[in-house]
Amino acid sequence: MDAMVSGVHITEITPDKISASQTAADSRMAGDAPSSIQRTAGASPIRPRRLRRTPALRAMVRETQLAADDLIYPLFVVHGQGAERPIASMPGVAQLSAERAARAAAAAADLSIPAVLLFGIPAAKDPVGLENFAAGGIVQQAIAAIKRAVPEMMVITDVCLCEYTDHGHCGLLNQGASGQGNGARPHAHLEEGYMLNDETLAVLGEVALSHARAGADIVAPSGMIDGMVAALRATLDAHDFSHIPIMSYAVKYASGFYGPFRDAAEGAPKFGDRKTHQMDPANAREALREAALDVQEGADFLMVKPALAYLDVIHRLRTAYPEAPLAAYNVSGEYAMIKAAAAQGWLDERSVTLETLTGIKRAGADLIISYHALDVARWLRA
Ligand SMILES: [Zn+2]
């Protein structure tokens, strides 16, 4: 300890030395020297530390309360019986068969988590992703299994094409009919392989409808396709599903934080990237434009994804749309970073995770989609 205070080593300061030097200083300033240490002249009467002294005081003035019913638990579902395939880059997360997913949903319900979000890994992939809207598709089976086991659980389904298409893109591509690049591409003025917008909307409508028929409570389009909310709303309404809310991935960035998710959902693009539809991480004003469109199109929830590097964007949406329920996706890379550091003993998983999710809520999110949901709900009870 070599810290110095006025030329004296901290370790040398003792109460009698303080009072001796205080007395000396006082007698230099005035004849009438007090015997104890006085409050420095001009110090503020407002002392924020007064409200931090005990745990009860801190609880009384806590501004942000994280709760289990803020959480949404994502699940990856696969075909088969008794399947539980761990994902190496996401310790504690596994691809689950439908009945295992139902068991995981029951565990979430026991912890007062109100909702799960389903991602499907199909048996086979093709250029369109036919299983995505098949009555017997994996997500459709998992919805039924979960609703049977835990009827009160809100089942949200991801509505996108990337896990189902053989090219791994979120929509139909400007390619020949086979999707393999042979034959004439539908739009001669657009480059080969460009992800088509309006053709994709029709497929997304079919996917959402299929999920609603299977019993989904909320559909969540995630592809950042222009007009996706309006397309889903129109299709659902036309088939007597006007009561099904849409949780729109309104602001989704082309982020490096999705790396582990792509292992989990097996939906990495086979070529190219997603920068022609997902947003540039540098843009925040554009996020307001995206959100405005989704609000106009009838989105019931807005979402920002990822969360941690975009807390300012969460805050901007919260401020611009105070009336809209706002979700934030605490994505796979955010989860994996904490898990990896905790495994090394470099960070305390519990405190860092709770701090992270509290920060996301403080920024303005009402709901947080997190792979840590079960742990967080347990920690909040402890
Ligand atoms: Zn996608």
What's CA 106's distance to the chain center, in Å? 21
User: Does residue 64 lie within any of the structural domains?
Assistant: no
What CATH number did the domain enclosing 351 receive?
3.20.20.70
pLDDT in the model for residue 44: 86
User: Does residue 173 lie within any of the structural domains?
Assistant: yes
> pLDDT for 63-106, tens place per residue?
999 999 999 999 999 999 999 999 999 999 999 999 999 999 99
User: Does residue 92 lie within any of the structural domains?
Assistant: yes
Ligand 1 centre and the CA of 162: distance in Å? 4
Ligand 1 centre and the CA of 161: distance in Å? 5
User: Does residue 18 lie within any of the structural domains?
Assistant: no
pTM comes to: 0.88
Write out the two tokens for 253: 């960035």
Ligand 1 centre and the CA of 343: distance in Å? 30
User: Does residue 53 lie within any of the structural domains?
Assistant: no
> pLDDT for 292-318, tens place per residue?
999 999 999 999 999 999 999 999 999
User: Does residue 61 lie within any of the structural domains?
Assistant: no
Which sequence positions are flagged as catalytic? 252, 305
Ligand 1 centre and the CA of 222: distance in Å? 6
DSSP class of 88: T
Total count of domains within the chain: 1
DSSP class of 165: B
* Banded pLDDT at 252 (limits 50, 70, 90): very high
Task: For residue 95, list its beta bridge partners.
Answer: 76, 85
User: Which candidate, 362, 257, 370, places its Cα nearest to that of 314?
Assistant: 362
Q: Is the pLDDT of residue 6 over 60?
A: no
Write out the two tokens for 337: 């970073």
* Banded pLDDT at 38 (limits 50, 70, 90): low
Provide the residue range defining the domain that includes 213: 69-381
Write out the two tokens for 303: 């979402």
227: left (phi over 0), alpha (psi -120 to 50) or beta: left
